[in-house]
Amino acid sequence: MDFNFRKPSHLFAFIALFLAIFLLIIYPLIQFILTVLGIIPPLTFPDATGSSAYYRLLYEIVALFVQIVLVFMIILLGVPILWYSLVNRFSTKQIFARLQLRLAGLKNAFLWSIVGVILAFTITLIINFSLLLIGVDIQNLSNIQDLQQIFSVPSLYIMVALQPIGEEIFFRGFLLDKITIVRGKTVAILLTSVLFGLSHMSYLRDYWVAVYTAGMATIIGLIFAYIVVKTKNLYASIFAHTAMNVISLTIYLLDKSLGI
């Protein structure tokens, strides 16, 4: 069904999509620009590490609830489902098909996800090694140390396992689908990857952290978008994204525990 501003349901879906894009992409970008210009201070997460156990647990529960309910369920999952339901009038089966959440070809999708993870880690290692050669402290560029001020290790694993599902459905499922219809696959791959990168600019302890995180997310987004187009199966990027997040967090925690 074609979009029509005159239809209240379509207008509601549009407003929901605009708010999602604003919160996920536009707001982090504005925040980054204002930080670089010195208009606002760098974003810092409230440090609850020195607080009482009760306060820290309560703060963590609230923060985890916001991440899972607001970001994951309402924005990343809810908005695409809302659009497909109200504007396109798709059934549940049609929504799954349009998002390319297909069980057929799952083995091929899994194999490509392995390729994607290997390629993503290879590029990450090359970039990190290059930064080390010019004297950049790459450990200081990680945003995990910021998240640890709020979340315990179990909560971190919950986040890195769940968040990729929502991000893949929103960026490599919904947005890739809509942009492909209008501008074709190549533009869709490039644009969704840039938008995915911009959505990672909110970690502003130091604005170089935002630049590094957004740049790496854009590159990884290109890889994941390509394997979705290649396999015609969103599970390929979901597997790859989840695996990469879990492996990266595990390596970071092991390095920290060993004092590397």
- For the chain, which residues make up each domain, given as ranges? 8-91+107-258
Q: DSSP per residue over 95-162, as a string?
A: HHHHTT--STTHHHHHHHHHHHHHHHHHHHHHHHHHHHHTT--GGGG-SHHHHTTT--HHHHHHHHHH
Of the candidates 183, 233, 194, 260, the one whose C-alpha atom is nearest the C-alpha of residue 21 is 194
**160, 164, 148, 224: which is closest to 192 by C-alpha?**
224
Average pLDDT of the chain?
90
Residue where the block lists tokens 């390319």: 100
pLDDT digits (tens, 9 = 90+) for 22-57: 999 999 899 888 888 888 776 665 555 555 677 778
CB 168, CB 237: distance < 8 Å: yes
Residue-wise pLDDT for 212-258, tens only, equals: 989 999 999 999 999 999 999 999 999 999 999 999 999 989 987 77
Q: Which two tokens stand for residue 188?
A: 């869709």
